[in-house]
Structure 1
Amino acid sequence: MPHDSRILHPALRGRLMSADDAARLILPGDTVGMSGFTGAGYPKAVPAALARHISAAHAAGQPFKVSVWTGASTAPELDGALAAADGVELRLPYQSDPVCRQRINDGRMEYLDIHLSHVAQFAWFGFLGKLDVAVVEVAAILEDGRLVPSTSVGNNKTWLDQADKIILEVNSAVPAGLDGMHDLYYGTQLPPHRKPIPLVRPSDRIGEPYLRCNPDKVIAVVQTDAPDRDTRFAAPDEASRRIAGHILEFFAHEVAKGRLPAELLPLQSGVGNIANAVLAGLGDGPFENLTAFTEVLQDGMLDLLGSGKLAFASATALSLSSQAREAFNADLARYRSRILLRPQEISNHPELVRRLGVIAMNGIIEADLYGNINSTHVMGTQIMNGIGGSGDFARNGFLSIFMTPSTAKGGSISCIVPMTPHVDHTEHDVQVVVTEQGLADLRGLSPKQRARLIIERCAHPDYRPALRDYCQRALAGSPGKHTPHLLEEALSWHVRYLRSGSMAAQA
Structure 2
Amino acid sequence: MSDGARVLDPVLKGKIMSAEEAAALIPSGINVGMSGFTGAGYPKAVPLALARRIAAAHERGEPFKIGVWTGASTAPELDGALAKVDGIEMRLPYQSDPTCRERINAGQMDYIDIHLSHVAQFVWFGFLGHLHVAVVEVAAVLEGGRLLPSTSVGNNKTWLDQADKIIIEVNRHPSLGLEGMHDVYYGTRLPPHRQPIPLTHPSDRIGTPYLECDPSKIIAIVETDQPDRNTVFTPPDENSRLIAGHIIEFLTHEVKKGRLPENLLPLQSGVGNVANAVFAGLKESPFENLTAYTEVLQDGMLDLVACGKLSFASATALSLSHEAAATFNAKIDDFRKKIVLRPQEISNHPEIIRRLGIIAMNGMIEADIYGNVNSTHIMGSSIMNGIGGSGDFARNAYLSFFMTPSQAKGGAISCIVPMVSHVDHTEHDVQVIVTEQGLADLRGLAPKQRAKLVIEKCAHPHFRPALEDYYRRALRESPGRHTPHLLDEALSWHSRYLKTGMM
Corresponding position of 2:340? 340
1:270-281 paired onto structure 2 within 5 Å = 270-281=270-281
CA–CA separation in structure 1 for the residues paired with 2:343 and 2:15: 27
What is the distance in 2 between the residues matched to 1:106 and 1:233? 29
1:35 matched residue in structure 2: 35
- The residue type paired with residue 349 of structure 1 is H
Aligned to 1:422: 422
After the TM superposition, which segments of 4 or more aligned residues of structure 1 sit over 2 Å from their partners? none
Aligned residue in 1 for 2:125: 125
SS of match in other structure, 2:474? helix
Contact 1:376 1:387 in 2 (8 A): yes
SS in 1 for 2:371: coil
Counterpart of 1:381 in structure 2 is 381
| Partner SS state of residue 423, structure 1 | coil
Task: Give how far 1:3 is off.
Answer: 5.0
Give secondary structure in 2 for the equivalent of 1:6: coil
Answer yes or no: is 1:181 the counterpart of 2:185: no
Contact preservation (8 Å) 2:365, 2:415: yes
Deviation for aligned residue 1:421: 1.3
Q: Does the 8 Å CA contact 2:2/2:223 hold for their aligned counterparts?
A: no
Percentage of pairs with the same residue: 74
Alignment partner of 1:438 is 2:441: no
The match for 2:164 is 164
Note the 1:87-486 alignment, pairs <5 A: 87-486=87-486
2:470 counterpart of 1:491: no
Per-residue CA distance 1:16-75 (angstroms, 9 max, x = gap)? 100000001000001000000000000000000000000000000000000000000000
- In structure 2, what is the Cα distance between the partners aligned to 1:216 and 1:274? 46
Q: Which amino acid aligns with 1:81?
A: A
Amino acid at match of 1:264: L
Deviation at 1:2, TM superposition (A): 5.2
Report the AA paired with residue 464 of structure 1: R
Superimposed CA distance per residue, residues 114-166 of structure 1 (whole angstroms, 9 cap, x where no aligned partner): 10000000000000000000000000011111000010000000000000000
What is the CA-CA distance between 1:11 and the residue it aligns to? 1.5
Instruction: Provide the residue aligned with 2:69 in structure 1.
Output: 69
Offset at residue 10 of structure 1 (A): 1.3
Read off the aligned partner of 2:425 and give its amino acid letter. H
Contact 1:365 1:378 in 2 (8 A): yes
CA distance in 2: counterparts of 1:143 and 1:37, whole angstroms: 26
- The one-letter code matched in structure 1 to 2:303 is D
Q: Matched residues in 2 for 1:487 and 1:213: separation?
A: 55
3-state SS in 2 of match to 1:51: helix
When normalised by structure 2's length, the TM-score is 1.00
CA–CA distance in structure 2, aligned partners of residues 280 and 100 of structure 1: 32
State the 1:355 CA deviation. 0.1
Distance 2:350 2:196 in 1: 12
Distance (Å, rounded) in 2 between the aligned partners of 1:295 and 1:200: 17
**In 1, Cα distance between the equivalents of 2:407 and 2:142?**
52
Which runs of 5 or more residues in structure 1 are unaligned? none
Letter in 2 for 1:174: P
Unpaired segments ≥5 residues, structure 2: none
Contact 1:369 1:419 in 2 (8 A): yes
Tell whether the 8 Å contact from 1:115 to 1:387 is kept in structure 2 after alignment. Answer: yes
Aligned residues, how many?
503
Q: Does 1:53 align with 2:57?
A: no
How far the C-alpha of 1:4 sits from its partner, in A, is 1.2
Helix, strand or coil at the partner of 2:479: coil
Taking only aligned residues, the RMSD between alpha carbons, in angstroms, comes to: 0.5
| Structure 2 counterpart of 1:167, one-letter code | I
TM-score calculated relative to the size of structure 1: 0.99
Q: Report if the CA contact (8 A) 1:3-1:172 is conserved.
A: no
SS at 1:144 equivalent: helix
Q: Which amino acid aligns with 2:502?
A: S
